[in-house]
Chains A and B, each alone.
Chain A
Amino acid sequence: MSLDLGDALQTFIAESRGLLQDMEEGLLRLEVQPDDAEAINAVFRAAHTIKGSSGLFGLDDIVAFTHKAENVLDRVRNNELPLKEGLIGLLLACGDHIEGLIDLVDGESEMDAETRKRGEILVAQLRQWLGEGGADSTAMQAEAAAPVASADGVRMQGDTWHISVRFGRDVLRGGMDPLSFLRYLARVGEIVHLSTLADALPAAIEMDPESCYLGFEIRLRSDADKAVIENVFEFVREDCELHILPPGSKVADYVHLIDALPEDNTRLGDLLVACGAVTARELKETLAVQESAGASQATQQPLGEILVERQIVQPELVNAALSKQKDARARQSQEARFIRVHADKLDSLINLVGELVIAGAGVGLQAARNKDAVLMESVSGMARLVEEIRDGAMHLRMVEIGETFNRFRRVVRDVSKEIGKDIELVIEGEGTELDKTVVDKIGDPLTHLMRNAMDHGIEPAALRAERGKPIKGTLKLNAYHEAGGIVIEVSDDGGGLNRERILAKAREKGLIQDSGDTMPDGEVWKLIFEAGFSTAEQVSNLSGRGVGMDVVRRNIEALRGTVDIESQAGVGSTFHIRLPLTLAIIDGFLMGVGDGHYVVPLDMVQECVELDPARSERRDYINLRGEVLPLLRVKEHFGLSGCAGRRQNVVVVNAAGRKAGLVVDELKGEFQAVIKPLGQMFAKVRGITGSTILGSGEVALVLEVPALLSDAARFEGRAILTSSKSFLN
């Protein structure tokens, strides 16, 4: 094909991946409920659509392979083949293979020998499934395909379109192959019947082999509307004769069609019968009436009129077909409520909104300085709108995490098969939304955690029975919002983490110096995130190679998130991953320390209290309504100069379940912070996650509260250890 299909190909790739996911979900559902007809249909449709669209792009490898899988699915759909577990596994593997083929298309690479071999093995396996009783099912299908010829019974094909197309002579020379359009048409609906007409082929001598002489009569079962079907032929519209009869067309319409088409009328009549557009009886009766009228050709009453007169066409049926069409259209318009937008466009929109926020803050500052009350009012009105725009723009990027979660059904299924444990995946909180970039990046760490939980966490069946637990292990994925962030939990009901083994390993690897007996559990669990740490006695195929957990931690930290572990021996462990909702714009709380400005996410701020200088001098905690609140003096922590404010304030922050007070000089209030990443140079600076620009043009640093707190805790811990004696005295 000479057409540039670059964009269309990208769409095809994206769509196919979505369809493969549908297919996988359907198959997994079928594993639980093998007689779920809807799921079978969904799987079949997915395979069928992929086959059709790849045909349009001339991706023959995908077409050929998918075709085989589709054959098997077709048999399943017709209840000719029981959907056993082995078959589901095979079909899942087929889905993977198709995905592999699509990846190759995406990467513009050729199929390598390994992929080819895998495909051949799968095809051989598919054949085996088809091999059982293949002969009589073929006969059955042949019979089923010819019911229209049996002539009795009015089969109203309610949702079936009739398409007559005669391709123009120059289509082939124009670089287009009618076959591609037919393959594409198969994507819009199911081609129930197709007749190829070669009547236009001239005598051998006159026939130009580069001209196209073929025409097709097609019955298409589809919910699509006429425009969609017409669009299939868009590239050749000018160049071909196209008639589309909607479902429920009257016989009269077909008669008009017969008149309009170039071929001999009787032959067309036969063709339409063969297609199932009209039944033989209808046609025969109509022709009989025509004959008995005995009139000459010229005065004969048109076929259609006779049919209508004799009421062979039933208006109720037509109406039923029409309302069905209306339903289909309503469904379509609902589908059209989603639009596909390039992620770059969204990103640039969010960038612009970020700039708008900064510029708006600048205007607000000017207004305040000039003490222009009217202007200040306008500014505050505008600020509110900007805020709404910001929220709206951020919301565009929000996606539900359910899709990511559902991917793990497959992982759990495969892994549990591989390691021979019976594990059930429970998913909760699928509706929780978070930023698309975060969703994209959380998949890998989650996979590691889940594999780990399945491999090391959940005990083998025998041990579970011994411990009085249900044989079937449970793995749970949960997501919920908490304090302006999202928490994703991966929990298992396995044996829990083994404190002794972790400590032993840590000593062996030199991660801890002392025996670690006094270490709190939380700290011990954190050791498993250290590089090169693995407690599995046997390195298995899945995990236990000592890579993974440290990567998990790094990945999560790269998202400004934290991970911590709760574990109880014999009961199970839970990994909590806390992530910020978004990476771009936050509601912040602006504070002044020395000469600098600092921002913390507003959601983490619980309250602000004044620090009484007399009572808190040199003490690192205060009594907050009877509760001990540790203090972090930001100025000292960062070693800042600048004179202290007259009064110091404490900002009480809560991060990852830990509460602390930040001692700052000045409280400046709420502020919309557009987070800009810090340069490479500052990558090693702990406690600061980014910068933001104030309305005045000054730069404020965004504090990374969880890191600050854990640093402070560590520092404090050491201080306490070294000076505990003096405290005791």
Chain B
Amino acid sequence: MEIRNVRDDDRLTLYPEGEMTIYQAIDLKSALLDALAQSDEIELDLSAVSELDTSGVQLLMLMKREAVAAGKALKLSGHSAAVLEVFEILDLGSWFGDPQVLPAGALGLGRAAA
């Protein structure tokens, strides 16, 4: 996994690439928390995430919680198919509250918005 970051004024955008699984969890945690410490406005572009497991989801949730607690803005964007699938199972779309660009009709079982 590699995380590219781009700083644009106050806004920090992270591009994690590849897997976000238990094997990368330790690195991912420090990278995400570092980013959170560096900026007040963070965007996490998930378009290049090829695999996401529970540990990855957990870290995203932790980061969101920390951001909200610190009054910072964290935005997830560009959800890849792997991310969308996991978010759908766990019904996390509204938890994060970010717009997800879904393939048409991918709300699937009709329980995405509860």
Contacts and interface: CB of A to CB of B under 8 A. Distances in A.
A257 to B, nearest CB: 19
Contact of A71 (B53, B65, B89, B108): B108
Given A182-B90, A210-B25, A131 B114 contact: no
B38 interface: no
B106 A179 contact: no
Given A71-B106, A172-B54, A192-B111, 17 more contacts: A60-B51, A64-B85, A127-B103, A130-B105, A134-B105, A167-B54, A172-B25, A179-B54, A179-B57, A190-B109, A193-B114, A194-B89, A194-B111, A196-B91, A207-B29, A209-B59, A216-B90
A421 B45 CA distance: 53
Interface string A172-195: 110001110011001000111111
B40 to A, nearest CB: 16
A146 interface: yes
A435 interface: no
Interface stretch (A137-145, A372-380, A461-469): A137-145
B114 A149 contact: yes
Interface of A: 60, 63-64, 67-68, 70-72, 74-75, 78, 127, 130-131, 134, 137-138, 141-142, 144-146, 148-149, 167, 171-173, 177-179, 182-183, 186, 190-196, 198, 201, 204, 207, 209-210, 212-214, 216, 274
B65 A201 contact: yes
Interface of B: 22, 25-26, 28-29, 33, 51, 53-55, 57-59, 61-62, 65-66, 81-82, 85-86, 89-92, 95, 103-114
Contacts of B91: 193-196
Nearest to A70: B108
A274 B114 contact: yes
A210 B22 contact: yes
A64 to B, nearest CB: 6
Nearest to B108: A71
A60 B107 CA distance: 18
Nearest to A81: B105
A196 B103 CA distance: 23
B105 A71 contact: yes
A204 B66 contact: yes
Contact of B109 (A74, A149, A182, A207): A74
Given A141-B112, A144-B110, A194-B90, A172 B55 contact: yes
A210 B26 contact: yes
Max chain B Cβ within 10 angstroms of own Cβ: one of A72, A134, A179, A186? A179
Contacts of A213: 58
Contact of B53 (A64, A68, A75, A179): A179
A149 B58 CA distance: 27
A209 B25 contact: yes
B89 A183 contact: yes
Contacts of B92: 196
A64 B81 CA distance: 8
A198 B108 contact: no
Nearest to A176: B54
Contact of A74 (B26, B58, B66, B108): B108
A493 B11 CA distance: 75
A42 to B, nearest CB: 17
A183 B111 CA distance: 15
B90 A196 contact: yes
A241 to B, nearest CB: 16
A247 to B, nearest CB: 18
B38 to A, nearest CB: 14
A68 B108 CA distance: 8
A190 B55 CA distance: 25
A167 B90 CA distance: 14
Contacts of A274: 114
A209 B56 CA distance: 8
A145 B94 CA distance: 13
Contacts of B107: 138, 141-142
A641 B62 CA distance: 94
Nearest to B30: A209
Contacts of A173: 22
Contacts of A137: 105
A236 to B, nearest CB: 12
28 contacts: A60-B51, A60-B82, A71-B105, A71-B106, A72-B105, A137-B105, A141-B107, A141-B110, A145-B110, A145-B112, A145-B114, A149-B114, A177-B22, A179-B53, A179-B54, A191-B109, A193-B114, A195-B91, A196-B95, A201-B62, A204-B66, A209-B26, A210-B25, A212-B55, A213-B58, A214-B54, A214-B57, A214-B61
A74 B110 contact: yes
A131 B104 contact: yes
Contacts of B59: 209
A75 B111 contact: no
B105 A75 contact: yes
A75 to B, nearest CB: 7
A204 B35 CA distance: 13
Given A127-B103, A179-B53, A146 B85 contact: no
